Amino acid sequence: MTYVDPVSHQVNLADGTIPTAHAVQVRRLADLRGLFADPQAEADALAENPLVYQVYDAADLPHVDGHLLYSTTVIQPGRVGDEFFMTKGHFHERSDRAELYYGLSGEGVLLLQTPEGRVETLPMVAGTAAYVPPHWGHRTVNTGRVPFVFLAAYPADAGYDYGTIARDGFAGLVLADGDGFRVVPNPRYRRAASP
Ligand code: S6P
Ligand code: ZN
């Protein structure tokens, strides 16, 4: 038997960074091109191409069944038109793989949808443990004025399907509404073919 060694990483609770992260993904607005609802607002904002979010992948572990991967995501505050900064969003490539999110700081929303386009919304603040069940696509949105930070833990063989959301959009939009937010149907959402 070959054993993988136990490992721990310190998460900086002030800003969500993991100084010993094995990899850091940086997503600027250009990486999310075409995902925001207002094309003109997106084009205008692309001139500055702001930082939208970073993902700190903690440990370098085998991406195979049985292991767990964990990471922090730090979403900057900001908007494109009325729509808050958000992650690209994905289904898992192995769509039956679930995931757990744990809010560390700031405030946001976990937006989920089934392949048929049913939307659920889970508000998140520091201390919120939110469950992404198998088969639900998921995107996180910063609805606040400071960075929104959460920890994610997920099966190492879950993988990513970004293509479905890039093609069809997300069925729900999270828009600024006074000091808060509202979730509205996405008029440009193209229903995916039933599985
Ligand atoms: C992985 C998990 C998160 C996201 C991260 C960025 O399954 O859901 O670590 O990867 O929040 O979102 P996205 O949609 O760009 O991967
Ligand atoms: Zn995921």
| pLDDT tens per residue, range 82-104 | 999 999 999 999 999 999 999 99
**Residue in this structure with the two tokens 């639900």, named with its chain if needed:** 136
Distance 89 CA to ligand 1 centre (A): 7
What stretch of H or E contains 83? strand 83-84
Query: Which residues lie at CB < 5 A from ion ligand 2?
Result: 99
Task: Say if residue 193's pLDDT is above 60.
Answer: no
Distance 58 CA to ligand 1 centre (A): 13
What's the confidence (pLDDT) of residue 55?
Answer: 98
User: How many Å apart are CA 76 and CA 39, to the nearest integer?
Assistant: 20
Ligand nearest to the CA of 86: 1
Query: Stretch 154-180: mean pLDDT, rounded?
Result: 97
- For Cα atoms 47, 48, 53, give the angle at the middle one, nearest 5 degrees: 125
Specify whether the CB–CB gap between 101 and 129 falls below 8 A.
yes
Report the pLDDT value the prediction gives residue 190, as an integer from 0 to 100.
Answer: 84
The string of pLDDT tens digits covering residues 7-66 is 999 999 989 999 999 999 999 999 999 999 999 999 999 999 999 999 999 999 999 999
C-alpha 3/C-alpha 111 separation (Å) is: 37
Find the 92 Cα to ligand 2 centroid distance in Å: 6
Residues 119-151 have pLDDT tens digits of 999 999 999 999 999 999 999 999 999 999 999
Kindly report whether the global pTM for this prediction surpasses the value 0.75: yes
User: If you search the block for the tokens 């996180």, which residue do you land on?
Assistant: 140
Spatial CA neighbour of 139 closest among 156, 155, 157, 162: 162
151 is written with which tokens? 């920890």
